[in-house]
């Protein structure tokens, strides 16, 4: 049983989940979400009988704003909090200016509405990970694995005792009871080969439960991961085909988003489809894949 909190992102349920690990020596949160959801996080913790002062650890799968935005605020509110993050993400948590700049290119004037503020984490409260560690938090032992592909600084955590793998975005998006698994592919780090290898890493844990930020716990890991890779390949192929058309980039983005919208609504009701699109905007998915293919072509040409 994994406790988690629905952050009710932008008033939409089942979009962003924070996992809550409760132990005798305090609480660990996996991906606390953005600062815009701090009220929901607080209320969710209170409903579990937890105060912010009991939170000892924030485990980040990666530093994208929908996962990590509130870390600095939580660390500032409670100096007893330690924030764990892959070494490639650590400097951006200590100084988020470049991260915010890059996110602003995607989200423009929606930044504040969507995410709220992104405070730096004080360096003494940061712990860098490389993957391969075993860490003890909230009375349990977690294995850490480096799982790039979605982001170059992505890690996953495995609680072998409970059989739960906390996968962030690398195991995709799956909302509600549907078997529909979507691959979130925003810029700038998408790498298909690394992503496939990371799926192998997660699979090798033989988890009973995959915990996804978008959204919550799912059983049947093998079938889930197969479905993820199938749709990742299909979306990558679609982006590649669109890049060969005479459309401009805006037109390609639109065509990609229209095809994803059609696919989603073929399998899901409209409200669920919209939750997937809120968890990762399909036009961003095109941009991430287009950037990947452009890097591949440059690599092949040089
Ligand atoms: Zn992400």
Query: What is the model's pLDDT at position 299?
Result: 86
Ligand 1 centroid distance, CA of 150 (Å): 7
Ligand 1 centroid distance, CA of 279 (Å): 9
Q: Would you place residue 301 in the very low, low, confident or very high pLDDT band (cuts 50, 70, 90)?
A: confident
- Tell me the average pLDDT of the chain: 96
Give the right CATH number for 3-228 from 3.40.50.1980, 3.60.15.10, 2.40.420.20, 3.40.50.1820.
3.60.15.10
Show the tokens assigned to 276. 């997937």
Ligand 1 centroid distance, CA of 64 (Å): 5
CA–centroid distance for 50 within its chain: 24
Contacts of 49 (CB under 8 A, 6+ apart): none
Ligand 1 centroid distance, CA of 169 (Å): 5
Write down the H helix ranges in 108-172: 111-115
Query: What is the model's pLDDT at position 1?
Result: 65
pLDDT value at 185 more than 70: yes
Ligand 1 centroid distance, CA of 17 (Å): 13
Q: Are 94 and 119 in contact (CB under 8 A)?
A: no
Q: Are 43 and 8 in contact (CB under 8 A)?
A: no
Q: Is the pTM of this model over 0.75?
A: yes
Ligand 1 centroid distance, CA of 24 (Å): 31
Q: Would you place residue 215 in the very low, low, confident or very high pLDDT band (cuts 50, 70, 90)?
A: very high
Ligand 1 centroid distance, CA of 183 (Å): 10
Ligand 1 centroid distance, CA of 110 (Å): 17
Q: Would you place residue 235 in the very low, low, confident or very high pLDDT band (cuts 50, 70, 90)?
A: very high
pLDDT digits (tens, 9 = 90+) for 67-94: 999 999 999 999 999 999 999 999 999 9
Spatial separation of the C-alpha atoms in residues 182 and 220, rounded to whole Å: 16
pLDDT digits (tens, 9 = 90+) for 125-180: 999 999 999 999 999 999 999 999 999 999 999 999 999 999 999 999 999 889 99
pLDDT value at 54 more than 90: yes
Query: What is the model's pLDDT at position 281?
Result: 93
Spatial separation of the C-alpha atoms in residues 88 and 209, rounded to whole Å: 27
Ligand 1 centroid distance, CA of 286 (Å): 14
Ligand 1 centroid distance, CA of 287 (Å): 14
Ligand 1 centroid distance, CA of 166 (Å): 13
Q: In which element (H, E) is residue 144 found?
A: strand 140-146
List the domain boundaries for the chain: 3-228
Ligand 1 centroid distance, CA of 151 (Å): 7
pLDDT value at 298 more than 80: yes
Q: Are 239 and 289 in contact (CB under 8 A)?
A: yes
């Amino acid at each position: 049983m994994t406790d988690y909190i629905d952050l009710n992102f932008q008033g939409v349920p089942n979009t962003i989940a924070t996992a809550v690990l409760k132990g005798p020596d305090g609480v660990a949160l996996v991906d606390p979400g953005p600062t815009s959801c701090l009220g929901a996080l607080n209320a969710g913790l209170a409903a579990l009988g937890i105060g912010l002062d009991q939170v000892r650890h924030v485990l980040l799968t990666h530093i994208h704003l929908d996962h990590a935005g509130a870390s600095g605020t939580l660390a500032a509110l409670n100096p007893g909090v330690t924030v764990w993050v892959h070494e490639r993400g650590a400097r951006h948590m200590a100084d988020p200016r470049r991260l915010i700049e890059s996110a602003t290119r995607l989200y423009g004037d929606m930044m504040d509405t969507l995410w709220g503020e992104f405070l730096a984490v004080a360096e003494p409260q940061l712990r860098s990970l490389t993957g391969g560690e075993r860490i003890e938090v909230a009375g349990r032992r977690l294995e850490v694995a480096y799982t790039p592909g979605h982001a170059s600084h992505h890690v996953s955590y495995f609680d072998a005792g409970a059989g739960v793998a906390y996968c962030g975005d690398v195991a995709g998006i799956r909302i509600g009871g549907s078997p529909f698994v979507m691959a979130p592919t925003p810029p700038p780090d998408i790498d298909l080969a690394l992503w496939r290898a990371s799926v192998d890493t997660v699979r090798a844990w033989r988890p009973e439960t995959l915990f996804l930020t978008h959204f919550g716990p799912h059983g049947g890991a093998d079938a889930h991961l197969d479905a993820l890779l199938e749709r990742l390949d299909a979306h990558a192929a679609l982006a590649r085909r669109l890049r060969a058309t005479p459309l401009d980039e805006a037109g390609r983005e639109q065509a990609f988003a229209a095809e994803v919208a059609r696919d989603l609504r073929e399998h899901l009701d409209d409200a669920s489809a919209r939750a997937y699109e809120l968890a990762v905007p399909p036009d961003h998915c095109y941009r991430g894949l287009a950037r990947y293919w452009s890097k591949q072509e440059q690599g092949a040409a040089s």
